[in-house]
Chains A and B, each alone.
Chain A
Amino acid sequence: MKKWRCEVCGYIYDPAVGDTEHGIKPGTDFESLPDDWTCPDCGVGKDQFKPL
């Protein structure tokens, strides 16, 4: 599964880790994240992410 990088702040979404603080389980790929999921660091939407 691909990692995605936030173009605004550089946060990297790693599907292996997920975002458990916001209810995203490890193993969730980026495409499966809810549409309203936002960058845990800076708060921008999924559209600001690019695959690595």
Chain B
Amino acid sequence: MFQLKEGVYWAGYIDWNLRNFHGYSTPSGSTYNSYLIVDEKPTLIDAVKHYGFEENLARIKEIIDPAKIRYIISNHTEMDHSGTIDKLLKYCPNAEVVCSPKGAEELKKHFKSNWKFKVVNTGDVLDIGKRKLSFLLMPMVHWPDSMATYSSEDKILFPNDAFGQHYASSERYADQVGLDTVWLEAAKYYANIVLPYGSQVLKVLEAAAKLDFDCIAPSHGLIWRRKQDIEKILSLYKRWASHETDNRVTIVYDTMWKSTEMMANKLFQGLDMANIPVKLMNLQVSQLADIVTEIMYSKFVFFGTPILNNRMLPTMASLLMYIKGLKTKNRYAFTFGSYGWATVGFKEFEESIKEAGFELLREGCYLNFVPEEEELNKLQDVIALVKGKIG
């Protein structure tokens, strides 16, 4: 049994084998964090994904008789957190389900049942005894229903998916494991789940700044408790939400017969020689979730594709569709690629990149069949442009 603070327990499920979360690669697995607060009216904050039910229930039973639970707070309807509430209610017949107005609508649609709901809004207080829990609605961080629960007594913020990471471990605190991995997973989580909602994140950060907490307990991964880690994750969220980037380049490409790869390598060499940090990512072997994490940090993204059937390669189209949804902003792009007899497909390629929110540094560089050395040298211009933008 794991106690965060007197009377506040972790009762979640560790998903060691998760490797793909609706398309997002999760090499470190994940956890679904469910928190039990033992007070006069025992309260559970979030449940778990369907296959974690038994573990969640067993952990609750180690602490109290589930029939004593009076409130199950559903901070977010998505099935990895609310998926077991229906089963749980059979063991908690006295429990009311506490959620946002949108949460109630969505839970009814998911479970087709009419539970005892207690609908709350920002600022509402739930008296559970010694503790008065309050709520902060966080629409679109990352669903319309999302909300955070705050315990002023314990100084804990339970912000659900915000500040989470997909990371399975026996440890519960971020400072107990390899921190670099945790920061990387936190960044990857933001890039893949939260990136489109920067303006809403900024509002949440502003509201959270008015609360006094020394612990952030998200619904996935590790809990933040050290002052320096809490300050860092809050400032990183602010930075990512503001679409601030580093002066670095991500080159992402696919290739059929190595011509586009030759161009990618030439660009890499030029940038590396100019001491500009650069990462080379081949779509054949890189996960989309990792590519967009790199893009989140990068002020410059170079996209390369050959032409197949007068179109960009489907791997590139898939990446661009994904990025479009993530609403990247304030970044520069450069396009390159190889073609056999017609360049018409590059127009659509460039349009897609502009639609995804990028500003093109200059016209693309497209070379016929196998590039000659002097043709590859034309790529040097763009390195000078990047240098100019970095200043």
Contact = CB atoms under 8 A, between A and B. Distances in A.
A14 B137 CA distance: 22
B102 A41 contact: no
A40 to B, nearest CB: 9
Contacts of A9: 139-140, 144, 200
A17 interface: no
Nearest to B325: A43
B176 interface: no
B269 interface: no
Contacts of A42: 139-140, 144
B89 to A, nearest CB: 27
A10 interface: yes
A8 interface: yes
Contacts of B322: none
A23 B140 CA distance: 23
Interface in A33-52: 41-42
A2 to B, nearest CB: 21
Contacts of B140: 9-10, 41-42
B53 interface: no
Interface in A5-24: 8-10
B199 interface: yes
B144 to A, nearest CB: 5
Interface string B130-152: 00000001011000100000000
B45 to A, nearest CB: 23
B102 A8 contact: yes
B129 to A, nearest CB: 32
A49 to B, nearest CB: 14
A10 B102 CA distance: 11
Contacts of B200: 9, 41
Contacts of A8: 102, 139, 144
Interface string B175-200: 00000000000000000000001011
Contacts of A10: 137, 139-140
A20 to B, nearest CB: 13
A42 B102 CA distance: 13
A41 B143 CA distance: 11
Nearest to A44: B144
B158 to A, nearest CB: 21
Contacts of B139: 8-10, 42
A22 B19 CA distance: 36
**Considering residues B137, B140, B197, B200, which has the most beta carbons from chain A within 10 angstroms of its beta carbon?**
B140
Nearest to A10: B139
B314 to A, nearest CB: 24
B199 to A, nearest CB: 7
A9 B144 CA distance: 5
Contacts of B197: 41
A10 B147 CA distance: 13
Nearest to A39: B140
Nearest to B357: A21
Contacts of B102: 8
A10 B139 CA distance: 7
B148 to A, nearest CB: 15
A10 B140 CA distance: 9
Interface string B91-131: 00000000000100000000000000000000000000000
A9 B196 CA distance: 13
Interface string B42-78: 0000000000000000000000000000000000000
Interface in B194-211: 197, 199-200
**What 8 A-B pairs come out closest when comparing CB atoms?**
A9-B139, A10-B139, A9-B140, A8-B144, A9-B144, A41-B140, A42-B140, A42-B144
Interface of B: 102, 137, 139-140, 144, 197, 199-200
Given A9-B140, A10-B137, A10-B139, 14 more contacts: A8-B102, A8-B139, A8-B144, A9-B139, A9-B144, A9-B200, A10-B140, A41-B140, A41-B197, A41-B199, A41-B200, A42-B139, A42-B140, A42-B144
9 contacts: A8-B102, A8-B139, A9-B139, A9-B140, A10-B137, A41-B140, A41-B197, A41-B199, A42-B144
